[in-house]
Copies of this chain bind each other. A is one copy, B any other.
């Protein structure tokens, strides 16, 4: 992103806001603040251009991210108004042509002919058209994401490269984050924490309760790469695997809009998230010798304001569930300070809530998270009146399977990360329940995008991903037979070669025309 390269450009002839930040580095701050500030220097942020923004806020980045959010969500939100117009045309003699022209010019794609052509017989199947439009919108967004890296988080981006160095400076060779699968956390990485998506392993799970055995396997793969290939760094370097959990709560309606998996009970969400982290560490420590371990970080997020709370772990990995540093409070405490003073305050707060001796590397990392999150607090202030209108669920589709690297927008996708419906049915049932309220109550169907990522370098892996897609599709058809039968649930099957970093490939849909078999 051009705006992320301002730091370098600025050095050749700094802009006014840039100069203010560079001044930070020359001031007589204590050494740790300087260390933290230095670590930011490569992708230093431009300081607020909104007069009310916090001095640490990257206002230009906020503008760009808002444009992206508006563009993508606009695609989905334009569907209903357009289909109302299509509906009003259905008795027109030139209906098909007029509908296609309208859709092409307003949404950028056509409607399926085999559905439009049936309109003259009875009434048009608007429900099927709605699902079609959702799937097309998803596909356009997905293609754009893999083709042009609109939020500039791919591993080739400058931002990702510099963030990766920052991670090493903090002593971490891998960052593995599990947010709750709730659609209101789908933007947690790229927006709320401003971490380039390629710098983090994201595995969303209901209640942030990740699978221990699978995460241990992921840890093994990472360590094996370090030993064999020195990727991301050599196993001889004393860096750590950082596993983080993001639980969530609601400041506006705490008893109803918190985490459904924990009955909107914040304390439970935090304690179960921490327990899962501790269990993971114990699994690694018990299963491997030679001091094998991981670092842990527990984060909470307010789904109304996107403000995070971080439970600072001590040097010996103690975590206090009742003690955290809250980005929102820090925001208020520091909004009228200079940037360097604000950073210092952040560090003080981080240290204050630590239940033991602090680890300077961890403090540096959390300082970055809080500082990044301050931009997001201003994002929500500026573009969502300080608190999201859609306090509850407002996802546009359900994503089922393995993948969806491209989803980074709040309330775009309810994600059921699963390999089989048999294992993932509870998560999927919650998704169907949510969409019964969101869509079926408005006579609109539930759109489900199925995705299986595969590794193209493994022989026949594409075929297996294809079979997985169809297997899941059949399992969904069997589990939600009534919804399928009355056209209230549609599926869209996609696979993606993660080695090629190419867009996903569409391999089927419940909206495909039924081919008559010859007799």
A interface residues with partner B (beta carbon < 8 Å): 212-213, 216-217, 220-221, 223-224, 227-229, 235, 278-279, 282-283, 286-290, 292, 419-423, 455, 457-461, 464, 471, 475
Contacts and interface: CB of A to CB of B under 8 A. Distances in A.
A250 to B, nearest CB: 29
A421 B229 CA distance: 37
Given A213-B461, A217-B217, A458-B286, A227 B229 contact: no
Given A213-B461, A458-B216, A461-B212, A229 B283 contact: no
Contacts of A279: 458-460
* Closest 9 pairs (CB-CB, A-B): A227-B227, A286-B457, A279-B459, A283-B458, A422-B422, A224-B224, A420-B422, A420-B420, A282-B459
A435 B344 CA distance: 72
A228 B458 CA distance: 26
A324 to B, nearest CB: 24
Contacts of A475: 422
A6 B223 CA distance: 44
A459 B213 CA distance: 10
Contacts of A217: 217, 221
Contacts of A461: 212-213, 283
Contact of A423 (B227, B420, B460): B420
B227 A287 contact: no
A360 to B, nearest CB: 28
B228 A292 contact: yes
A208 B475 CA distance: 26
A458 B221 CA distance: 18
Given A212-B461, A287-B455, A471 B223 contact: no
Contact of A212 (B292, B423, B459): B459
Contacts of A455: 287
A471 B424 CA distance: 11
A396 to B, nearest CB: 27
A212 B422 CA distance: 22
Contacts of A423: 419-420, 471
A275 to B, nearest CB: 9
Contacts of A283: 457-459, 461
A210 B28 CA distance: 64
B227 A235 contact: yes
Nearest to A285: B457
A224 B220 contact: yes
A289 B458 contact: no
30 contacts: A212-B460, A212-B461, A213-B458, A213-B464, A217-B217, A217-B221, A220-B220, A220-B221, A220-B224, A223-B224, A223-B228, A227-B228, A228-B235, A228-B289, A229-B288, A229-B290, A279-B459, A282-B459, A283-B457, A283-B459, A286-B458, A287-B455, A287-B458, A419-B420, A419-B423, A420-B422, A420-B423, A422-B471, A422-B475, A423-B471
A409 to B, nearest CB: 30
B458 A212 contact: yes
Nearest to A474: B422
Contacts of A458: 212-213, 216, 279, 282-283, 286-287
Given A220-B224, A287-B458, A421-B422, 18 more contacts: A212-B461, A213-B461, A217-B221, A220-B221, A223-B224, A224-B227, A227-B228, A229-B288, A229-B290, A279-B459, A282-B459, A283-B461, A287-B457, A419-B423, A420-B420, A420-B423, A422-B471, A423-B471
Contacts of A420: 419-420, 422-423
Contacts of A212: 458-461, 464
Nearest to A225: B288
Nearest to A468: B423
Nearest to A286: B457
A80 B393 CA distance: 60
A42 to B, nearest CB: 29
Nearest to A287: B457
A421 B458 CA distance: 25
A239 to B, nearest CB: 15
A469 to B, nearest CB: 13
Contacts of A282: 458-459
Contacts of A288: 228-229
A457 B282 CA distance: 8
A485 to B, nearest CB: 19
A154 B356 CA distance: 47
A222 B292 CA distance: 16
Contacts of A459: 212, 278-279, 282-283
Most buried by B among A279, A420, A464, A475: A420
A91 to B, nearest CB: 45
Contacts of A290: 228-229
A460 B272 CA distance: 13
Contacts of A228: 223, 227, 235, 288-290, 292
